[in-house]
């Protein structure tokens, strides 16, 4: 492995705030005041605290990364327009969602389900254009892929906010932030992972080190998530808004789940960057060994989970069949990219740049995953009376945390870099996927409300 550190060019010195910076901050404050006036009576003290903290956080994010400012403003305006269209469709009991969705713009664009379907299409198209740029060795498809990714994030955020509004119109006790089931959190994962990728793409491009074909790899995992949420919606009617189970009726959900998915998204991003790194640096023999080894980890994890924790889901054989299909898809993908690496590698950045992206993504994800784990312990104490119960989900979350803690320790203390670090990151995604989905598929526990 190499121990030579790679650093980006120094960032430009901070500049004075522009007029648009202050206009943006004023608009965020005005929106917050309007929101408190209209909905403050239905918030408890914790929700008011979260909303109050979200205001400076939104301003800081907009100042930190300029593209977020038009995105936030456009999402707010579009979501507000969708809500206004719904409010026009009222009867004696309030907003009639079914009648509202007969309005052209709601039916085809701005209802939550329509917006999420548009998100799905745009992210699939983004992935296709990124891969077109990689295969054709052209910049134009890559640029189009980036723009489509932005459009997908926009529609995902609109769909999320409108779904939140729709849930409150069904009944006051049903309304909740849409991060409560697998369908909703896969929407969250899709736009959050994409947005982190767009941030790194923009930052490295401005530093004179464009990431090029890396977008094809990152958007591939996003497309996999989108494919899963569409399958889940079709087979389980998961797109329908349901009341929360008692354990989820907590304000902790509003902060624990998003923090968790910052971790999941950045870990996935780092793993896909690691795959591109390995295609460029690993020997052919190592790649073909990995072709067997990484799916092998997927097979071993359920056995390890059973050995550690015991209780299996009733439909274990069905879960095994689903896993084998997923492993088959992974094997086919690995075979294709390994065979085509001579064509792919010229369009991906240098190993040093890819290593830097991988490290930064894991560092951000680890910080947020740590926060999410602590918040989850507080939530567990409130819901179940104890901070930690060695539930399968909790145990595997700890395994994920220890995995990335060890990766960062070896990086910072021992200078870990190179192919070993990349393989570790790639296997880390397999472990994380098992903690997120595999536990729900194979093991029973307090978190079984997320079953597949």
* DSSP characters over 262-329: HHHHHHHHHHHHHHHHHHHHS-HHHHHHHHHHHHHHHHHHHHHHHHHH--B-TTHHHHHHHHHHHHHH
Token readout for 245 is 């189970």
pLDDT number for residue 326: 61
Same domain, 163 and 89: yes
Separation between Cα atoms, residue 292 and residue 155, nearest integer Å: 38
Residue 408: pLDDT over 80: yes
Same domain, 161 and 308: no
**Radius of gyration of the chain, Cα coordinates, nearest whole angstrom:** 22
Q: Are 201 and 353 in contact (CB under 8 A)?
A: no
Q: In this structure, how many other beta carbons lie within 10 angstroms of the beta carbon of residue 402? A: 11
Q: What's the domain range around 57?
A: 21-34+44-64
For residue 134, give the nearest of 216, 76, 59 by alpha carbon. Answer: 216
For residue 277, give the nearest of 292, 265, 287 by alpha carbon. Answer: 287
Residue 288: pLDDT over 80: no
Separation between Cα atoms, residue 293 and residue 35, nearest integer Å: 52
Q: In this structure, how many other beta carbons lie within 10 angstroms of the beta carbon of residue 159? A: 26
Same domain, 228 and 129: yes
Q: What is the mean pLDDT of the chain?
A: 84
Number of independent structural domains in the chain: 3
Axis-axis angle for helices 139-170, 112-136 (nearest 10) = 170
In a domain, 121, yes or no: yes
Give 3's pLDDT tier (boundaries 50, 70, 90): very low
Element (H, E) at 230: helix 214-236
Token readout for 289 is 């060994």
Residue 119: pLDDT over 70: yes
Which DSSP symbol is given to 443? B
**What are the helix and strand counts (H, E) for the chain?**
17, 2
Separation between Cα atoms, residue 262 and residue 366, nearest integer Å: 9
In a domain, 177, yes or no: yes
Q: Please report, for residues 172, 177, 226, 233, the alpha-carbon distance to residue 238 in angstroms, rounded to integers and kept in the order given.
A: 20, 15, 13, 4
Q: State pLDDT tens for residues 349-398.
A: 999 999 999 999 999 999 999 999 999 998 888 877 778 888 888 888 99
Same domain, 57 and 148: no
pLDDT number for residue 1: 43
The set of residues, in sequence order, having a beta carbon less than 8 Å from that of 46 and lying 6+ positions away, is: 251
For residue 351, give the nearest of 286, 413, 400, 419 by alpha carbon. Answer: 419
pLDDT number for residue 4: 43
Least confident of 110-114, 210-214, 391-395: 391-395
Same domain, 89 and 110: yes
Separation between Cα atoms, residue 440 and residue 370, nearest integer Å: 21
Compute the half-sphere exposure of residue 34: CA atoms within 13 Å on the CB side of its CA. 8
Residue 176: pLDDT over 90: no
Same domain, 229 and 353: no
Residue 128: pLDDT over 80: yes
In a domain, 203, yes or no: no
Same domain, 319 and 431: yes
Which residue has 């403003």 as its token pair?
A: 73
pLDDT number for residue 240: 87
Same domain, 179 and 138: yes
In a domain, 231, yes or no: yes
In a domain, 304, yes or no: yes
Separation between Cα atoms, residue 294 and residue 427, nearest integer Å: 6
Token readout for 279 is 């295609």
Q: Is 157 helix (H, G, I), strand (E, B) or coil?
A: helix
CA 141 distance to own-chain centroid? 24
In a domain, 282, yes or no: yes
In a domain, 199, yes or no: no
pLDDT number for residue 293: 66
pLDDT number for residue 194: 97
Same domain, 331 and 279: yes
Same domain, 180 and 267: no
Which residue has 């030579």 as its token pair?
A: 4
Same domain, 86 and 124: yes
Token readout for 444 is 């029973």
In a domain, 202, yes or no: no
Same domain, 58 and 80: no
């Amino acid at each position: 492995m190499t121990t030579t550190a790679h650093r980006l060019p120094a960032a430009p010195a901070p500049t004075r705030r522009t007029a648009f910076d202050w206009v943006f901050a004023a608009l965020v404050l005005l929106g917050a005041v309007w929101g408190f006036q209209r909905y403050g009576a239905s918030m408890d003290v914790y929700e008011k605290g979260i909303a109050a903290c979200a205001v400076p956080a939104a301003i800081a994010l907009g100042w930190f990364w300029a593209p977020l400012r038009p995105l936030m403003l456009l999402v707010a305006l579009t979501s507000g327009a969708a809500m206004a269209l719904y409010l026009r469709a009222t009867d004696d009991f309030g907003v009639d969602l079914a009648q509202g969705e007969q309005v052209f713009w709601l039916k085809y664009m701005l209802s939550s389900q329509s917006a999420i379907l548009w998100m799905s299409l745009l992210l699939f198209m983004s992935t296709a254009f990124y891969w077109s740029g990689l295969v054709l060795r052209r910049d134009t498809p890559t640029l189009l892929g980036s723009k489509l990714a932005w459009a997908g994030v926009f529609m995902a955020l609109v769909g999320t906010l409108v779904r939140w509004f729709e849930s409150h119109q069904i009944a006051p006790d049903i309304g909740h932030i849409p991060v409560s089931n697998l369908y909703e959190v896969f929407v969250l994962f899709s736009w959050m992972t994409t947005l982190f990728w767009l941030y790194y793409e923009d930052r490295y491009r401005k530093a004179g080190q464009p990431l090029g074909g890396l977008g094809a790899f990152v958007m591939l995992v996003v497309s996999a998530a989108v494919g899963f949420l569409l399958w889940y919606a079709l087979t389980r009617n998961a797109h329908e808004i349901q009341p929360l189970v008692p354990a989820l009726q907590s304000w902790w959900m509003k902060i624990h789940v998003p923090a968790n998915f910052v971790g999941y998204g950045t870990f996935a991003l780092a793993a896909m960057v690691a795959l591109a790194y390995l295609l460029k640096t690993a020997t052919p023999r190592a790649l073909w060994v990995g072709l067997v080894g990484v799916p092998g980890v997927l097979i071993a994890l359920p056995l390890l989970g059973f050995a550690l924790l015991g209780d299996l889901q009733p439909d274990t054989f069905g879960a095994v069949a689903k896993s084998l299909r997923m492993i088959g898809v992974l094997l086919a993908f690995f075979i294709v990219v390994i065979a085509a690496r001579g064509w792919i590698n010229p369009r991906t950045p240098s190993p040093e740049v890819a290593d830097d992206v991988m490290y930064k993504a894991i560092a951000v994800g680890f910080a947020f995953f740590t926060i999410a784990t602590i918040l989850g312990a507080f939530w567990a104490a409130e819901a179940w009376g104890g901070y930690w119960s060695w539930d399968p989900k909790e145990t595997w979350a700890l395994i994920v945390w220890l995995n990335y803690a060890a990766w960062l320790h070896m990086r910072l203390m021992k200078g870990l870099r190179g192919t070993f670090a990349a393989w570790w990151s790639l296997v880390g995604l397999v472990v994380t996927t098992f903690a997120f989905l595999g536990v729900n598929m194979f093991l029973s526990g307090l978190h079984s409300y997320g079953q597949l």
